[in-house]
Structure 1
């Protein structure tokens, strides 16, 4: 094996590890912030979408979160059990399940309002750098999704 091959296989040279370890660190940062709201990170993501689009269907939610509906269903059920959302059949198409925020789910938005700023501050990035990094990551995701 030549030096170039050896360097390519170093852990510290792996883009996937940089993404993975950063994701782990980000989840550790979010954990106490979300515990104060009674949410897990997957629940928080669902709530973010519902705060934007109350009444979205479960299928649309899966597309927005780039998640399989089977993986989201138990999380949705837990949010419903917590009284933060309801699942209702669509009046237009009974095969579709609409997710609607309860008053408690709507009220939680205000309490969550400080989280993005706290995370940005903790990241050490300014807004411009964070938006640039986010755009780069979205481009990588888009390119990868076209391959899989």
Structure 2
């Protein structure tokens, strides 16, 4: 399926009245993991601006020890400070990368804004080198715009 074809399913998850917010986030992670071949770990991190930390929310993929990440540390922590998408074609070439698994080759992180405030992000790891395109970025921005409506 193309990203355009995936969009209505994301909307149907976020507008499902029978699911809680966390169930919707979990369903989105599951859906993306199952329907985008190069998405091997999909999760949400949420910001605690008072403590300047990110906290792991719903995710699908290998278990991670990175349940709390300080702002500025790793790709996710950098996005918490920059408020900008971050695409890493090859994690081995990235200085400020927090290794989750030797199988992870690339990563994309897209911030989640609610009322102009970066409240978190969607984080995706891939076992493929350099799979993320501008289309991935635009699609994940769409996903986050739908998710923002849940807050």
Return the TM-score normalized by structure 1. 0.29
Higher strand share: 2
Return the TM-score normalized by structure 2. 0.29
Greater relative contact order, per chain length (Cα 8 Å cut-off, separation 6+): 2
Larger Rg: 1
